[in-house]
Amino acid sequence: MTKLSVNINKIATLRNSRGGNVPNVLQFAKDVQRFGAQGVTIHPRPDERHIRYQDAYDLKTEVYTEYNIEGNPIDSFMELVLKIKPTQVTLVPDADNAITSNAGWDTIKHKNFLMDIIKEFKQNNIRTSIFVDPVLKQIEGAKETGTDRIELYTEVFAHQYSLENKDAIKPYAECAELANTLGLGINAGHDLSLENIEFFKEHIPNLLEVSIGHALIAESLYLGIENVIQMYLHKLQ
């Protein structure tokens, strides 16, 4: 089945909005794993407006499934990841002031930069993934960087699916087929939800992992976190 990695940034956002340590990010990470999630994702940003760098270090001993750290490979991020050595690092080209990730890498323009970053992570036995738009030439470019996996940026799909345009899956399916041919592992994330996840998985061959945060946490406000994780696992089988 496709693995579910729960992005816990929103839990940190809620904690930070009040001060103190409620909700407890470490406990939440332990709980989502206990409820069946096969991974925990965080995306620390330089201003630490949600996940703090110290959270990333503290989570190292609490994540016993797959630990995925996302972010733009600036110096402080590189230092963090190389010290923690998570299961996977996902490289995302987001600006410092971005509310959320909003585009994939130009793997052709930034090929040499990505090659150097990926080489360093792989030398430290950290699996690498890079955030990409569903464009065939960008998948080909990703292969040239030496990355282990790609993460398909799914915001466009999710938006079009909500408008009942199911043809929006086509470029993602085509890119997945190419990635499989090239030997790249496939992850996906951004605005995936209980509404669209099953359809997405059915059309993406060999989808290894999805990272879901905002929708999953919002759905859990109504349905409960343990129940929501089980619902995702059922749809990802």
Task: Provide the annotated active-site residues.
Answer: 43, 70, 190
What DSSP assignment string belongs to 125-184?
T-EEEEEE-S-HHHHHHHHHHT-SEEEEE-HHHHHHHHTT-GGGGHHHHHHHHHHHHHT-
Tokens representing 99 are: 């509310």
DSSP assigned state of 49: S
Q: How far apart are CA 74 and CA 52, in angstroms?
A: 15
Q: How far apart are CA 150 and CA 184, in angstroms?
A: 7
Q: How far apart are CA 90 and CA 133, in angstroms?
A: 14
Count the alpha carbons within 13 Å of 185 in the hemisphere toward its beta carbon. 16
Residue found under tokens 């030997």: 183
Residue found under tokens 């738009």: 133
Residue found under tokens 């190419």: 178
Length in residues, the chain: 237
DSSP assigned state of 87: S
